[in-house]
C-alpha cells in the first residue's frame, strides 16, 4: 500500500539551522520519511516576504539544503526541493487568493506578530498573503499530513478551509490535509532565556546553538546555560525551565526518556549534568556539521540534486495545478 503523503518546509532565512530546528523539525522529519511519501521544501518564496540580499539568499538556500541532507533527510527517498524551482506554487497561490476572504486573511496571527514591531504600513503585501502561498504548497502535493510547530497550526487550518471551499464550489480537487503538531518535549528553549523559544531572531547569540557552531563553542554555550539555584535535576517547566530544557535536549540526543534521565542524575550536581548534555549534543552535531561543510564544498553537485528533485516535485505539482485550473474554468 502507498505511504501517506506528507509535506513540510522551512525558510532559508538564516545562515544556519539551530538546535531547536534540529530537534523540532529535522529529527522528526527524518523519522517520518521512513513510512511516508515525504516532500520537504526550502521555501524561498516565503523568505522574500521580508527584505533580503540576493547573494545571501542564494547561499542560505544551499546551506539549508546541505543541512537537511546532513541532518538525515535522504534525497533519494524524500523529495527535497526548492519552492521557487516549481512554478506551480506561485500560480496556485494566485488562484487560492481569489477564494480567500480579506477578513479571513486578516485574522492570521503570524502577520500580526511579524508586524507588531515595524507596523503594518511598512509590511509587504507578500507577508500578508504568506499563508495562502503556504496553502498552495500543501495542496499541490495532496498532502494528508503536515508536521509543523503550533505557531503554524492556524495556517494549516486555513489550508483546510480553502481546500474544502474550493472542492465545494468547483468539485472535488484537493485532499484535505491534517496538521501534525510538535510534541511538547520537542520544543526547545533559549539557553539564556529558557522561557523563550530558541529562535533565529533572538538577540543573545549565547542562548542559541547553531548547527554550524564549532564543537567547542557548542559545549561552552551548553555549559553556560541558565538553570536555577535549587540544585535538583528534575523536569518542571514552570519553576525549572532551564533544567527542563536541558533534560529535553539530552532526551532528544540520546533517545532516553526524561524520567530515566532524572533517575540517572539523582543526587548529582549541575556541573556533571551540563557536561553530559554538552557531550551528547557535540556527539550528535559534530558529524552533521562536518557533512554539511562537505556538501557545501561541492555546490555544483548540490545544485544538480536540487534540480533533479525539483523535476520530481513539478510532476506532481503541475498535475494538481492543471486539475485546479480546469475546475475553475481556466483551461
- Shortest distance in whole angstroms from residue 115 CB to ligand TRP: 15
Question: Considering CB distances under 5 to 8 angstroms, the limit depending on partner class, which of ligand TRP, ligand AMP, none binds residue 43?
Answer: ligand TRP
DSSP 185: G
Of the pair 50, 325, the CB lying nearest ligand TRP is at 50
Which residue out of 178, 197, 217, 237 is catalytically annotated? 197
User: Is 313 strand, coil or helix?
Assistant: helix
Q: Which of residues 9-28 bind ligand AMP (CB under 6 A)?
A: 10-11, 20-21, 23-25
Question: Considering CB distances under 5 to 8 angstroms, the limit depending on partner class, which of ligand AMP, ligand TRP, none binds residue 7?
Answer: ligand TRP
Here the cell at position 40 is: 520537504
DSSP 18: B
Burial of 9 (0-12, 13-18, 19+ CB in 10 A): buried
- Shortest distance in whole angstroms from residue 249 CB to ligand TRP: 21
Q: Which of residues 238-277 bind ligand TRP (CB under 6 A)?
A: none
197 binds ligand AMP (CB under 6 A): yes
Q: Give Cβ neighbours of residue 243 (< 8 Å, ≥ 6 apart).
A: 227, 228, 232, 233, 234, 235, 236, 270, 273
DSSP string, 41-88: EE-HHHHTTS---HHHHHHHHHHHHHHHHHTT--TTTSEEEEGGGSTH
Question: Considering CB distances under 5 to 8 angstroms, the limit depending on partner class, which of ligand TRP, ligand AMP, none binds residue 23?
Answer: ligand AMP
Q: Which of residues 7-36 bind ligand TRP (CB under 6 A)?
A: 7-11
Question: Considering CB distances under 5 to 8 angstroms, the limit depending on partner class, which of ligand TRP, ligand AMP, none binds residue 24?
Answer: ligand AMP
Binding mask 157-186 for ligand AMP (x = CB under 6 A): -------------------------x---x
221 is catalytic: no
Neighbour-count burial for 177-197, b at 16+ CB within 10 Å, e otherwise:
bebbebeebbbbbbbbbbeee
Question: Considering CB distances under 5 to 8 angstroms, the limit depending on partner class, which of ligand TRP, ligand AMP, none binds residue 9?
Answer: ligand TRP
5 phi and psi angles, rounded to 5 deg:
-75, 135
Q: Can you state the percent helix, strand and coil of the chain, rounding each to 5?
A: 60, 10, 35
Q: Which residues are catalytic?
A: 114, 197, 200
| Residue ranges in contact with ligand TRP by CB under 6 A | 7-11, 43, 46, 134, 137-138, 146, 148, 152
Amino acid at each position: 500500500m502507498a505511504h501517506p503523503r506528507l509535506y513540510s518546509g522551512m525558510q532559508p532565512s538564516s545562515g544556519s539551522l539551530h538546535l531547536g530546528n534540529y530537534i523540532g523539525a529535522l529529527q522528526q522529519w527524518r523519522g517520518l520519511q521512513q513510512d511516508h511519501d515525504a516532500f520537504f521544501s526550502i521555501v524561498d518564496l516565503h523568505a522574500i516576504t521580508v527584505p533580503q540580499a540576493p547573494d545571501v539568499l542564494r547561499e542560505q538556500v544551499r546551506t539549508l539544503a546541505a543541512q537537511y541532507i546532513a541532518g538525515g533527510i535522504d534525497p533519494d527517498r524524500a523529495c527535497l526541493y526548492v519552492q521557487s524551482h516549481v512554478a506551480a506554487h506561485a500560480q496556485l497561490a494566485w488562484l487560492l487568493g481569489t477564494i480567500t476572504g480579506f477578513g479571513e486573511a486578516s485574522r492570521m496571527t503570524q502577520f500580526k506578530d511579524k508586524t507588531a514591531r515595524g507596523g503594518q504600513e511598512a509590511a509587504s503585501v507578500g507577508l500578508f498573503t504568506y499563508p495562502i502561498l503556504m496553502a498552495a504548497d500543501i495542496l499541490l502535493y495532496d498532502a494528508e499530513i503536515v508536521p509543523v510547530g503550533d505557531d503554524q497550526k492556524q495556517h494549516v487550518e486555513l489550508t483546510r478551509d480553502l481546500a474544502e471551499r474550493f472542492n465545494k464550489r468547483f468539485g472535488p480537487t484537493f485532499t484535505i490535509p491534517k496538521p501534525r503538531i510538535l510534541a511538547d518535549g520537542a520544543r526547545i528553549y533559549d539557553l539564556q532565556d529558557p522561557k523563550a523559544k530558541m529562535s533565529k531572531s533572538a538577540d543573545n547569540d549565547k542562548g542559541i546553538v547553531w548547527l554550524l557552531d564549532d564543537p567547542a563553542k557548542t559545549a561552552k554555550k551548553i555549559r553556560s546555560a541558565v538553570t536555577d539555584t535549587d540544585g535538583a535535576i528534575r523536569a518542571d517547566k514552570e519553576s525549572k525551565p532551564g533544567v527542563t530544557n536541558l533534560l529535553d535536549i539530552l532526551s532528544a540526543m540520546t533517545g532516553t526518556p526524561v524520567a530515566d534521565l532524572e533517575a540517572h542524575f539523582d543526587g548529582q550536581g549541575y556541573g556533571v549534568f551540563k557536561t553530559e548534555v554538552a557531550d551528547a549534543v557535540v556527539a550528535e552535531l559534530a558529524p552533521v556539521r562536518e557533512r554539511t561543510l562537505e556538501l557545501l564544498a561541492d555546490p555544483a553537485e548540490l545544485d544538480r540534486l536540487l534540480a533533479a528533485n525539483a523535476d520530481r516535485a513539478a510532476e506532481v505539482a503541475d498535475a494538481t495545478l492543471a486539475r485546479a485550473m480546469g475546475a475553475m474554468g481556466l483551461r
